[in-house]
Every structure is written in C-alpha cells, then in structure tokens.
Amino acid sequence: MTAKRVLSVLSGAIVLAATLTGCGSDSGSTSGGETLNVLIGANTIYPEQQRKWFADISARFQRESGATVEFETFASPNDELTKIQTSVLSGQGPDIYAIGTTFTPTVYATGAFLELTPDDWTKLGGRDRFLPATLGISGPDRDHEVGVPFTTRPFVMAYNRELLTAAGIDKPAESWDGLREQAKRLSTGGRYGMAIGYADSFDPWKFIWAMSLQAGNPLVGDGKARLDEPVVRTAYQTYLGWLATDKVVDPAAVGWKNAQAIAAFGAGRAAFLPMVSATSKVTLDASAVAGKYGYAVMPTIPPGATARPGGGQDATSILSGDNLVVAKYTRQRDLALALVKLLTSPEQQRDYYQTFGELPTDASAAAALQADPALAAMVDSSARSVATPFSGAWSQVQLALVNVVVQSVPGLSAGRVDDARLGTLLTEAQSSAQAALDKAK
C-alpha cells in the first residue's frame, strides 16, 4: 500500500514537473546562433504594431548577423527601474535597454553600462549623424557617453482651433502670462481654458522645470539644489494658480493624470492641452476634436515677465525621448552595437516614425520630415529642447518637485495657493534634493 502511495505521489510530481517546464519556457534553444535581449517600453497605443515591429527587426537582424533578437517589454517607468536594478545587481539580464532620457543620468551613475569609445561611435555609423540636440543627455560630457539617441518625443501644446477662433484668438500666446489671459477668455460655458493633469506622476515637474529655466534657474547646478528660490516659487504659484485662483482648469483636474487631461481636451472641454507629445495624435484624431486642433510650442517667456530675462533659456521642452544603452555585462558587445546601429539607421527611424509617431534622432531621417506641416511644432520644439541636469540624483530631485504639487493639491479647493504652506514644502523639497545631490558621486 505504502509503495503504491509513494508511486502515485511520484507520478504526480513528474506530471507537475512536466507541466511547469513545458512548452515555451525553453524557446531560446531553437536556434544555434547568439541571442540578444532587448528591454523596451510596452507601447499601449500600438500594441499590435509593436509586436509586428519586434518580429520584423528580429527577422532582419537574423538575416544580417545570424543572431536572434528577443524583445521584452516593461509596463511603466517604475517597472523599468526595478528591472534595471535587479539586472545590474545580479549581473544578468537584457543586453540592450531603451530608457527614457531623464533616466539616463541615473543609469549612468550605476556604472553598469557601456561608455561609448570613439571606436564604438564609428561602429554605430558616426556620432555626427545624430541630431546634436538629441545627444544632449547621452552622458555627463563627450568622453563619457552611454546613451545612443533612439527616438525623440518633444513636448508641445495642443490647442482647439475652433474654440480659439470663436474667442477671437489667432494663435497661442508665447508667454505663460499671456497663455493665462487667453485661458481666462476661453473659460466659459462649461469649458475650461486648459486641461492639466495635476495628479500625474511626471507632468508637474516638467512645467516647474521649464518655467524656472526660462527665468534663468536650471534647479540644479554645481552640485547645489536651487529649489527654494523666488522664481521656483512663482512657477508653482502659476501652475497651481491656474486651478485655484484663475479658475481656468476644471476643478476635477486635481485627480487627473495626463491621460484624463487628454480625454478632457479630446471631448472638447478644454481649449489648451499643454505638455503632450506626438503620441497624443492618435487619440485626438479619434476624438471629438479630430481635425479641429493643432499643435504649438509651449510658452517660453517665464511667468511674471513679458520678455525672457537675461540668463533665461529658450526651452520649449525637456529633452525627451529614449536612449539605447548597452549593459556592461553583455557577452556580445559588438553584436549589441550592430543592433543599435540597425535600430538608429535612417531607414529604421523613418519606419519607426511612420508606425509609432515618434520622431527620428538621425539627422538625415529628421530632415526628411521637416516638410510635414502637422509636425512643425514638434520639430521646432525638438530643436529647442533643453536637457535636464545630468546628475545621478536627478530622479530624486524630480520626485521632490512633484511632491510639492501632490501635497499642495488638498489646499487648492480653498480657492488660493497657500503661500506659507508652499514655502514649507519648498524648503523640504530643497533639503531632500540637496541631500540626494550630496550623495552623488
């Protein structure tokens, strides 16, 4: 009896082992060649096209080099971060990562990614073939670059042409104060001047950074945080004031992420939609405002000014997009560089733009797109994008900046921006940003 029991338990275990090990989990063993693993953000707007693109690239690279490419996707920036941390910590994982531009300094700080030598750049087809602006956040200086520009996604502002015409406004203002006045005129009849995602985890800091930079304060410089200066405070007051005092934003926007702001604009309930990229085009073309909206660069004259002060920068957007980085632990360095070259080749970049709407980083591919009027604002903004400070502590600075908005939101329903509270929050943000910078190496 016991033997029979043992036997049945054993057979159960064998069945279990078979099912767990079964189909799929050993797909790497099919081809004899090398395998490259690439980690890239999941494209939620074009999931099917992305899968097709994966297959196309794999097939093409297989033809060219005999190696297999396997793509893995991450869901969110947090996911990406976790994946990078676990891979770096254990010294195994994807060979190539497509990472966000603002995240490049943090990735560089780990020292786990390949610094590109002049020789490497040659293998990639030359550093010169990339748009100079897109190289702005590849490394701390020319000799220590890790990121190869892959796509660029400059931020612009969508506006509802119909609503603007009805209000007698011929084009969006070039100063933040002007934009506010226009938004006030447009806030009538259940519509609002602007759609803003106050609860977004990333949008808020981009506004504050842009306004501060335009006023001459890049927030971080020479290892010192400058978050408690008057221009930063003015930036917050302007950004929060749109909702609290100017009433040009739907009060419900305190709970919005970027997606809901796009939805509100798409439903025709807001005239301006600042801080969107070309990827919003798909959604808007399928919405109620299709054919009635346009894109423009965001204002570059800081709040409280009619002209940009001396020292202020003409920044339309953060330098946004994706860089490709190669892990130091890779066993196929040259193969990885060959794939990066393929991914950034003019032909692939054009193809990528046509499929996903993300702009090329290759100069010749970008020049070919210049003529498209629908893209004028993006191309303009791309050239006038400014890189965020190259510091390993930038993620923490970013978090501190957003935190000020998050903690200010409950007070906004009172109809004013509480100055004392804002002061306290800025002091906290300054000290946590400075603490992070002090640890930077």
Partner 1 sequence: MTVRESAPTRGAAGPAPRPGGRGTATSGRGTVTRLLPAPLRVLVLGVLLVVVLAPVLYMLFASVSSDLSVAEGAFLPTSLDLGNYLRIWSTVELGRGLVNSLLVAGAVAAVCAFVALGSAYVLVRYAFRGRLAILRGLLALQSIPGTLMLLPVFVLFASAAQLLGVPVIGTRWALFVTYLTFALPFSTWVMVTYLRGLPPELDEAARVDGASAWQVLTRVILPLSWPGLVVAGIFALLLGWNDVLFASVLTNPDSRTAAVALQVFGATQEGGAIPVYGQMMAAALVCAAPVVVLYLVFQRYLISGLTAGGVK
Partner 2 sequence: MPGAVPPYRRVQRHRPLWMLAPGAVLTILVVVVPLVVALHISLLDLDQYSFRQWVRAPFVGLANYTEAVRASGTVHAIVLSTSYAAIVTVVTLPIGVAAALATQDRFRGRGLVRSIFLVPYVLPAFVVGTVWRIILQPDGVANGLLARLGLDGGLWLNGPRSFWALVVVQIWASWPLLYLLALAGLQAVDPVLHEAAALDGAGWWTKLRYVIFPHLRGPVSLAVIIAFLHNINNFTLPFVLFGVPSPRDVEVLPVLTYVESFQNFRFGLSAAMAVLSLVLIAVPLAAYLRAVRLDVGPDGAAEGSRP
Task: Determine, following the binding rule CB under 8 A, whether residue 267 of this chain makes contact with partner 1.
Answer: yes
Cβ-based nearer residue to partner 1, 267 or 307: 267
Where do we find the tokens 């989990």?
A: 25
Our CB check for partner 1 shows the closer of 267 and 374 to be 267
CB of 115 to partner 1, least distance (A): 24
Closer of 88 and 158 to partner 2 (Cβ) = 88
Residue 73 found at the interface with partner 1 (CB under 8 A):
yes
From the list partner 1, partner 2, none, partner contacted by residue 185 (C-beta under 5 to 8 A by kind) = none
d(CA 89, CA 212): 36
- 102 or 395: whose CB is closer to partner 2? 395
Binding mask 202-241 for partner 2 (x = CB under 8 A): ----------------------------------------
Can you tell me which of 258, 323, 361, 430 binds partner 1, judged by CB under 8 A? 258
For residue 101, which of 384, 386, 345 has the smallest C-alpha distance? Answer: 386
CB of 276 to partner 2, least distance (A): 19
Binding mask 110-129 for partner 2 (x = CB under 8 A): xxx-----------------
Stretch that binds partner 2, among 153-161, 219-227, 380-388, 405-413 (CB under 8 A): 405-413
Restricting to residues 183-212, name those near partner 1 by CB under 8 A.
202
| Near partner 1 by CB under 8 A: residue from 35, 58, 79, 305 | 79
* Segment contacting partner 2 by CB under 8 A, of 119-127, 150-158, 209-217, 251-259: 251-259
Per-position x/- string for 85-104, each x denoting binding to partner 1 as judged by CB under 8 A, each - no binding: xx--xxxx-------x----
CA distances from 277 to 19, 198, 240, 336 (A): 45, 17, 22, 29
Which residues, listed in sequence order, are joined to residue 158 by a DSSP beta bridge? Answer: 273, 295
Residue 155's binding partner out of partner 2, partner 1, none, with CB under 5 to 8 Å set by partner kind: partner 1
Do 301 and 307 meet the contact criterion of CB atoms below 8 Å apart?
A: yes
- Closer to partner 2 at the Cβ: 4 or 441? 441
Q: Does 199 bind partner 2 (CB under 8 A)?
A: yes
Report the distance separating Cα 176 and Cα 198, nearest Å.
17
Phi, psi values for residue 270, rounded to 5°: -145, 150
Nearer to partner 2, 354 or 413 (CB): 413
Buried b (16+ CB within 10 A) or exposed e, 189-210: eebbbbbbbbbbbbbbbbbbbb
Q: How far apart are CA 326 and CA 203, in angstroms?
A: 28
Residue 360 as a binder of partner 1 (CB under 8 A): the answer is no
State yes or no: residue 431 binds partner 2 (CB under 8 A): no
Positions that interact with partner 2 (CB under 8 A)? 78, 81-82, 85, 88-89, 106, 109-112, 199, 201, 250-257, 260, 392, 395-396, 399, 402-403, 406-407, 409-410, 413, 436, 439-441
